[in-house]
Amino acid sequence: YPAEIEAELHKMPGVGDCAVFGIPDEEFGESLCAVVQPQPGVTLQEDEVRSFLRERVASYKVPRKVEFRGDLPREDSGKIFKRKLREPYWEAAGRKI
């Protein structure tokens, strides 16, 4: 359901682009992380993003972690390179994707 969450995030004022993916979670095995690229000049807060999503998706779909970046890595095709975003989390946990 990351695509569903991304679609909702794109509706949020101030969100330029975003990516949602799974990261390691000691309690649940895996949980969701959203990386949001705000529109230029916009400052967003993690609690704002989570609150916005809580009103639109089931509570278990709301990412446990929300990060903000000025730029998202892209593949040659222009798609967001999610592997580059999630890899550090898995490496830090001593696990591979």
Report the CATH number that the domain containing residue 14 is assigned in CATH: 3.30.300.30
Residue 97 lies in a domain: no
Residue 39 lies in a domain: yes
Q: Which domain holds residue 32?
A: 2-90
| Position 96 in a domain | no
pLDDT tens digits for range 53-66: 999 999 999 999 99
C-beta separation of 17 from 37 below 8 A: yes
Instruction: Name the helix (H) or strand (E) containing 37.
Output: strand 29-38
Note the pLDDT tens digit of each residue in 10-60: 999 999 999 999 999 888 888 999 999 999 999 999 999 999 999 999 999
User: Considering the domain boundaries, does residue 64 fall inside one?
Assistant: yes
| Residue 31 to residue 79: CA distance in whole angstroms | 22
Three-state DSSP class for residue 2: helix
Q: Output the six-digit token pair for 86.
A: 């999630």
Q: Report yes or no on 53 lying in a domain.
A: yes
Residues in CB range of 42: below 8 A, 6 or more apart: 14, 16
Any idea how long the chain is? 97
How many domains does one find in the chain? Answer: 1
pTM, two decimal places: 0.89
